[in-house]
Amino acid sequence: MDIFLQQIINGLVQGSIYALVALGYTMVYGIMGLINFAHGEVVMIGTLVTISVVGLLVKLGVPLALAGVAGLLAAVAVCMALGWSLERIAYRPLRNAPRLTPLITAIGMSIILQNLAMMIWGRNYLTFPKLLPQVDFEFAGANFTAVQVIIVLVSALTMGGLLLLVYRTKLGMAMRATSQNLQVASLMGVNINRVIAAAFVIGSALGALAGVMVGTYYEIAHYQMGFMLGLKAFTAAVLGGIGNLAGAMLGGILLGLIEALGAGYIGDLTGGFLGSHYQDIFAFVVLIVVLMFKPSGLFGEKTGDRA
């Protein structure tokens, strides 16, 4: 029982991070039908920018807490600018190209960003600064930390904020209308370019936040970290029904839980043949199963809440 509860907690934490990243995929896909494979790299750059900014400020004598806030803000700002530039430079010129073209461009942008990050931050693993004090809690035989609680709370609040934006504001209504019929939305006076840019910028801000969470949680970062994270978050978006906001949130949490429980029990299930370091296979088993049996995802055919 304690392993079960422990893995549920771990899964919720990892799942909240997947959900934030998955939202970036799903928002862009919902509006323009593009899978922005460079999104994982945006998250990675968010993590690495935070390391640099915090490192620099601490060296200048700024208190760690303040440096951490500045690092987070810097990561969000850099990632928003990066998301905006990606759309403007790489994808907008291909708006009317066949669908395969922007997809290949997205993979190209992912490679470019990885190499750029390698040139800036080097090939080695970097240590993420300890921004939060180590506080442990125990509940029914399972352990969790303040960092885990904060990750789950912050991502829940952020997702609530996103839902308010999409369902309660004029920009959100324009985004939903654009995702349903781009041409008619422009007839209503919606500047399509601005809405598409907003989807990239908002998705990138969520990605930056996720990047800081990943760094805080694992305390380590690397220029290739965005690849696997991006692929898993993409899986989460597909699981929930790509293009659907609530689907990305639920898909992220579910994927985190599946992975954590899978990693917790894989040893028992295979008689010790496979260990918990095989946890990565679960995401891809999920992806394959969803694509085979329900390619539209959990919420793919439900009406009413795509964005």
Partner 1 sequence: MLEVTGLHVAYGGIQAVRSITFHVNQGEMVALIGANGAGKTTTLKAIARVIDAVGGDVHFCGEKIDRLAPHDIIRRGIALVPEGRGVFPRLSVAENLAMGAFVRDDKAAIAADLAKVYGYFPRLKERESQLAGTLSGGEQQMLAIGRALMSRPKMLLLDEPSMGLAPIMVQKIFEVVRAVAADGMTILLIEQNAKLALESSQRAYVMESGEITVHGDSAQLLDDPKVRAAYLGE
* Residues near partner 1, by CB under 8 A: 170, 173-174, 176-177, 180-181, 183-192, 303-306
Q: How far is the CB of 181 from partner 1 (least distance, A)?
A: 6
Please classify residue 133 by burial: count the beta carbons closer than 10 Å to its beta carbon, then call 0-12 exposed, 13-18 middle and 19+ buried: exposed
Helix (H, G, I), strand (E, B) or coil at 123: coil
Which token pair is 61? 């004598």
Q: How far is the CB of 176 from partner 1 (least distance, A)?
A: 6
Q: How far is the CB of 35 from partner 1 (least distance, A)?
A: 21
Residue 240's closest CA among 26, 13, 1?
26
Q: How far is the CB of 191 from partner 1 (least distance, A)?
A: 5
Of 87 and 259, the one with the shorter C-beta distance to partner 1 is 87
Distances (CA, A) of 255 to 28, 109, 212, 249: 20, 26, 20, 10
Of 264 and 297, the one with the shorter C-beta distance to partner 1 is 297
Of 62 and 177, the one with the shorter C-beta distance to partner 1 is 177
Which token pair is 22? 């998955």
What is the DSSP secondary-structure string of 195-214? Answer: HHHHHHHHHHHHHHHHHHHH
Distance CA 26, CA 306 (A): 9
Of 51 and 175, the one with the shorter C-beta distance to partner 1 is 175
Total Cβ atoms within 10 A of residue 301: 10
Q: How far is the CB of 174 from partner 1 (least distance, A)?
A: 7
Residue 182's closest CA among 173, 172, 192?
192
Of 145 and 296, the one with the shorter C-beta distance to partner 1 is 296
